């Protein structure tokens, strides 16, 4: 029997509640589909940091590196200054484990309400491939004369040929496998960021030569935001840099019903990948059992898909589709007609019966 060690980091805010539902679902599919998941919980996040002053202790990191994948809830705490936990835990895991792809599927399931009045599930089904280790996130820059009236703050976007190339190549490969549409859009800002996105565009065009079956397209990030709302059906796969990918996937989350529906995979094609709902810790909802766990459950689905357990990933997808269409009244916190844990139960029930 195949056995996977999964590092589980429930983290802050609503993280633990939604991850608990994902773990229930993972238990249900693993016993049904004959593989074993062994969960290794790690107490990381704001509370741990406040107690110890350390975001990600070395020993803990070493132990996480022994796992096959990471299942993460959310990182971010109102009493910890912004950036400390994000850089100390989330970005550190992404960077040091070389999870250079952030894959974010954007799919509207039947029965889910969104703010766009004329678009439905047949129009909204695409994926964003976000570069996940470079760009503005690399942390290059610094201050001069900090705190004075002559202060200078510089934050530079780092784009390496190697980093751009491996991301773009992944996007082409992913686009080939995804479905029959085979359309890849590069999202950039070649009209202003003339160095960084020149490198992206040249790399994109060069790699495209090897994929004659894929239709390629380019959009500036601002225009792409407009198209995403106006014509979401025109997208299949979008590839972009770290910062733009961060921004457009929050916009895209709304096309799927909101943050409670959006999942992401931080993929290290040669190493340990990490799977998370992308909605954040939402402290105001924490501990009330009212938030939507579907994003966390879809993150678990992405994990199984990446580990090669496709049959179990498919049954989760079916269960989510059914529960959204037939059971849940809404997808927003407090409006589901069910509690967080009841939604988890409905998904598990479907899996056990199927
Ligand atoms: C995300 C989040 C993170 C990011 C934050 C929490 C650092 O917004 O995963 O999109 O900016 O990447
Ligand atoms: Mn984000």
237-247 confidence digits (pLDDT tens): 999 999 999 99
Catalytic residue among 250, 318, 322, 345: 250
Give per-residue pLDDT as tens, 112-126. Answer: 999 999 999 999 999
Say if residues 45 and 11 touch (Cβ distance below 8 Å). yes
pLDDT of residue 35: 97
pLDDT of residue 213: 98
**With a 6 A CB cut-off, is 90 part of the ligand 1 pocket?**
yes
State in Å: Cα 164 to ligand 1 middle. 19
pLDDT of residue 336: 98
Examine the residue annotation and report whether 329 is marked as an active-site residue of this protein: no
Out of 103, 240, 245, 246, mutate this one to test ligand 1's pocket (max ligand atoms within 8 Å of CB): namely 246
Ligand nearest to the CA of 280: 1
Alpha helix segments (H runs only) across the chain: 15-33, 46-52, 58-64, 84-85, 92-96, 161-178, 196-208, 221-230, 242-255, 294-307, 310-322, 340-353
pLDDT of residue 154: 98
pLDDT of residue 84: 97
Examine the residue annotation and report whether 12 is marked as an active-site residue of this protein: no
pLDDT of residue 242: 98
Provide CB contacts within 8 A for 31, sequence distance 6+.
Answer: none
**With a 6 A CB cut-off, is 86 part of the ligand 1 pocket?**
yes
- Residues in the chain with pLDDT values less than 50: none
Mean pLDDT over each residue of the chain, to the nearest integer: 97
Domains along the chain? 1-108+262-354 (3.40.718.10), 115-131+138-255 (3.40.718.10)
DSSP string, 161-209: HHHHHHHHHHHHHHHHHH-S--EEEEEE-TTT-TTHHHHHHHHHHHHHT
Separation of alpha carbons 152 and 105, rounded Å: 38
Give per-residue pLDDT as tens, 303-316. Answer: 999 999 999 999 99
Ligand nearest to the CA of 102: 1
State in Å: Cα 243 to ligand 2 middle. 9
pLDDT of residue 334: 97
Does an H or E element contain 276, and which?
Answer: strand 273-277
**With a 6 A CB cut-off, is 278 part of the ligand 1 pocket?**
yes
pLDDT of residue 94: 98
Examine the residue annotation and report whether 137 is marked as an active-site residue of this protein: yes
pLDDT of residue 326: 98
Examine the residue annotation and report whether 222 is marked as an active-site residue of this protein: yes
Say if residues 59 and 69 touch (Cβ distance below 8 Å). no
State in Å: Cα 251 to ligand 2 middle. 10
**With a 6 A CB cut-off, is 69 part of the ligand 1 pocket?**
no
pLDDT of residue 78: 96
pLDDT of residue 114: 97
- Residue 17's Cβ-count burial label (10 Å; 0-12, 13-18, 19+) is buried
pLDDT of residue 177: 96
């Amino acid at each position: 029997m195949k056995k996977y060690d999964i590092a589980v980091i429930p983290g802050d805010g609503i993280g633990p509640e939604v991850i608990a539902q994902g773990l229930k679902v993972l238990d249900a599919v693993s016993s049904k589909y004959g593989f074993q998941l062994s969960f290794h919980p790690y107490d990381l996040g704001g509370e741990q940091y406040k107690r110890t002053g350390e975001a990600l202790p070395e020993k803990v990191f070493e132990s996480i590196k022994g796992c096959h994948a990471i299942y993460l809830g959310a990182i971010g705490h109102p009493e910890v200054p912004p950036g400390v936990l994000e850089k100390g835990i989330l970005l550190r895991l992404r960077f040091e484990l070389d999870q250079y792809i952030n894959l974010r599927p954007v799919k509207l399931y039947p029965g889910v309400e969104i703010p766009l009045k004329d678009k439905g599930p047949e129009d909204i089904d695409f994926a964003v491939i976000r570069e996940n280790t470079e760009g503005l996130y690399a942390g290059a820059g610094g201050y001069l004369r900090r705190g004075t009236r002559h202060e200078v703050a510089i934050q530079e976007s780092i784009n390496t040929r190697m980093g751009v190339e491996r991301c773009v190549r992944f996007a082409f490969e992913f686009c080939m496998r995804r479905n029959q549409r085979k359309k890849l859009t590069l999202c950039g800002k070649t009209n202003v960021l003339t160095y960084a996105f020149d490198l992206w565009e040249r790399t994109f065009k060069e790699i495209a030569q090897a994929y004659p079956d894929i239709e390629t397209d380019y959009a500036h990030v601002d225009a792409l935001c407009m198209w995403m709302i106006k014509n979401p059906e025109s997208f299949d796969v979008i590839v972009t840099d770290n910062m733009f990918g961060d921004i457009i996937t929050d916009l895209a989350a709304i096309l799927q019903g909101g943050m409670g529906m959006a999942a992401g995979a931080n993929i290290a094609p040669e190493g340990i990948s990490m799977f998370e709902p992308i909605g954040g810790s939402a402290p105001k909802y924490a501990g009330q059992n009212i938030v939507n766990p579907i994003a966390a459950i879809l993150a678990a689905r992405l994990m199984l898909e990446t580990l090669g357990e496709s049959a179990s990933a498919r049954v989760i997808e079916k269960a989510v589709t059914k529960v959204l269409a037939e059971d849940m009244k809404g997808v927003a916190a407090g409006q589901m007609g069910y509690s967080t844990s009841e939604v988890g139960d409905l998904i598990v029930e479907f899996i056990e019966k199927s």
